[in-house]
Chains A and B, each alone.
Chain A
Amino acid sequence: MSTTEQTQVGIPTGTWQADTVHSRVAFEVPYTVATFSGEVPDFQATLENGTLTGIGRISSITVKEENLQAHLLSPEFFDAERHPEVKFVSSSIRRNGDQVEIEGELTMKGITKPATLRGTATGPTVDHFGKTRLGLQLQTVVDRTAYDMNWNMPLPTGEPALSNEVTLKADLTLVEQA
């Protein structure tokens, strides 16, 4: 006889808001021989009765060089003038132990596509101030060309300088609202 034991820990009900000081929304994309990365520091994330919603203000995108930042905001990439926000809304959240898989729709540059975020969940845990916190460390890989971000430049070898596959990351500390 064998027993398969699964630890099913549900996603809590109620309203949870991201503590943005202890949260981070970022991207990574292979560029020539390294990885180009940046953050979207102005964002909000809410978990409300089992639905996770995240909105990022793309004008806040931060990379290490202001000219690259300007290029990312331009029509060749996010077109921040016409599409100031990126957004994710979940349709289902499955948690098994510390593993979590969140399906939903991701909108960037006005284009909405299905996306699945995978990662880990931690908590809920009561912190040293008495607040209840839930951690979600999530990521997904998207094809940026599906969101009309097609810029590239061939290297001397003929290979493209910038990968089409971009890793999006969200490390969220969600705090239960009273």
Chain B
Amino acid sequence: MNSDQAARLRDWADDYVAGTLDPAERAALERELLTNAEARRFFLSYLELHAGLAWQFRGADCELPGLSEANLKTNESITGVLDFARNPHVRNSGESHYREANLGEAQPTPVSRSRRWRWSLSSAAAVLAVAAAVWLWLHGVSREPGADSGPVFAVVRETLPGRWADGREVRVSESVGKGCWSLQSGLVSLEGMDGVELLVEGPAIGQWLDAQHLRLMSGTVVVRMPKGKSGFVVETARMRVTDLGTEFGVSVSPSGDERVQVYGGRVRTEAAASGEAQELKAGSALLCSPKGELAPAAFVEDRFIRRMPLRQGKPRN
């Protein structure tokens, strides 16, 4: 595909996204997509760009319409919440959280259609939100990291551009305390107790259990201990990784694969199911399948982001 073809295809893609593609252009686009695999990938990558931006900046997806933090504090309320999650039509949850996104000159949505959906979808959103909230609450969540008055386990050193799942931007110097956090996007550098450095790549969900103990439910984190320090633990659903003075990365993929890769020093890994323990040294990697089976994996240097990238010509880390 030459540059003219690429430019034309991108114009069509942009008009398609904006809703301004005319029928003749749409027919031409369809012909191109049906016959040219390279054009399909190019077009798809543009849709991924648009989708990625929409996701990145869409804000909270676990809002709790009509449900405050306060009524998550008692078992009685939890029962009610669970009942509501099972039967969303018992009460209405308020307005849908979707936002108008009139990028370009998209055709207006008929009001009746939008309103028809608004009621049922607000319940749908609430079901997921409630389910997620209950789950987070049961796991000791602090919906805003560091918002409670408990001990601080880490402080944000840098963010590029990180965003929590509740839509807030991650701020430098923000403290992160005990409980769950969900990083929707971006790259965040945290400094924990004893000088441990963690680089978290969004999307990621984790939970601080104590100052030396992080549970990673999904996503990617790289841990770097200062010289002379050790003992930091990253726990996943099927594995426990204990640093023995080192730098290592741990990832939990959406499909459930868990991976540890050691960049420096050593780590000890322990499988939850079998109790099998292994010590890994620098330059090695291990994969834990969704069934809990441990197996050596290829060490791929750039599998994890280990440093904040350069920005504006200045080193970030």
A binds B: no
Q: List residues of B whose CB falls within 8 A of some A CB.
A: none
